[in-house]
Amino acid sequence: MFATPHAASGLHQNRESLRQPLLFLAVSAAVLLVIGQYTDIDLWLADMHFDPQKGLFPWDQTWFGRIFMHIWVKNVLIWSGFLLVAATVLDFVRPLQRLSEVGRARLRLLALAATLAPALVRSLKARSAMHCPWGIDRYDGSHPFLRLLDAVPADWQAGHCFPAGHASAGMWLAAAAVLWLPHSPRKALLAYAGGTGVGMLLGWVQQMRGQHFLTHTLWTAWLTTAVLVVLLAVFARHLLPSTPAARTPDERAQGQHLAPAEQAAATSALTGASGRPSAAQARIPSRTL
């Protein structure tokens, strides 16, 4: 019922390790607000892809944009998330014997990220007043351009276009970083960047089609990162095998053991300013799931 001295120390260090990612989220949110509210980068990029003579976004008429990226690629990513959730449920009902405790924690974190991040984006989108580029009068639509912090007119018809829902289908892949946490923060950062890049690519195609503005996609990336930081904080104590019984056979054979104090590395590795592992992280031996 009461935390032991070691457990209390670990909890304190986990709270300390949250400061850096929370600071990153706060600063990046402020930057996004400034970009969206006080620059015209959204309109500038949308102008690049709009054909004023035809009154449409040409990429919206292509097989690549409408079918391949918007349907096929998105469905593959969605079903990948479903398979992760199914595997997690199966392991919960009938635990997989060959899966270590750390591997089980990683699987559950991935499944939750694949579920919660897109669900959060969809929930906010359903309540959003902002319109997509194709609905803006600047691009032959019927509504004026509305920024995130603008006051919504009383007779406004909601556009339900913010944040970018399509990008969230791939953005959750950033959670793959957990496969290299906390023992290899550099690889985790690359995995995070790669997963985020997939979501940004999906969002970029939607921008070319006139379906979203750039900041819509950037906010989806921010929300996904926020969900991931919360999940890492929740699972931090489970991402490190603290006892020989919790380790895989290979780890026990090698005599590897991680001190409780090193649990603090789990939540801060993604957003480290220098990208270099801490002293505690440097002592953690490399291994895979």
Polymer length of the chain: 289
User: Where exactly are the structural domains of the chain?
Assistant: 7-148+159-282
* Cβ atoms within 10 Å, residue 127: 9
Find, among 154, 171, 249, the residue nearest to 206 by Cα: 171
Phi, psi of 261 (to 5 degrees): -65, -20
**pTM score, whole prediction:** 0.80
For residue 241, what pLDDT is reported?
65
210: region left, alpha or beta (phi > 0 left; psi from -120 to 50 alpha): left
pLDDT at 129: 96
Mean pLDDT by 10 residues, the chain (289 residues): 37 63 96 98 98 95 95 96 95 88 94 97 96 97 95 93 96 96 91 97 97 98 97 89 49 44 48 44 42
User: What share of residues in the chain are helix, strand, coil (percent, to 5)?
Assistant: 65, 0, 30
Query: Closest Cα to residue 222, out of 214, 210, 233, 212?
Result: 214
| Residue 289 CB coordination number (10 Å) | 13
The two structure tokens encoding residue 186: 């550099």
CA separation, residue 201 to residues 28, 80, 145, 258 (Å): 20, 17, 24, 38
Most distant CA pair in the chain: distance in Å? Answer: 71
pLDDT of res. 238: 87
Return the half-sphere exposure (C-beta side, CA atoms, 13 A cut-off) of residue 188.
Answer: 29
Could you give the CA distance from residue 147 to residue 95 in angstroms, rounded to a whole number? 48
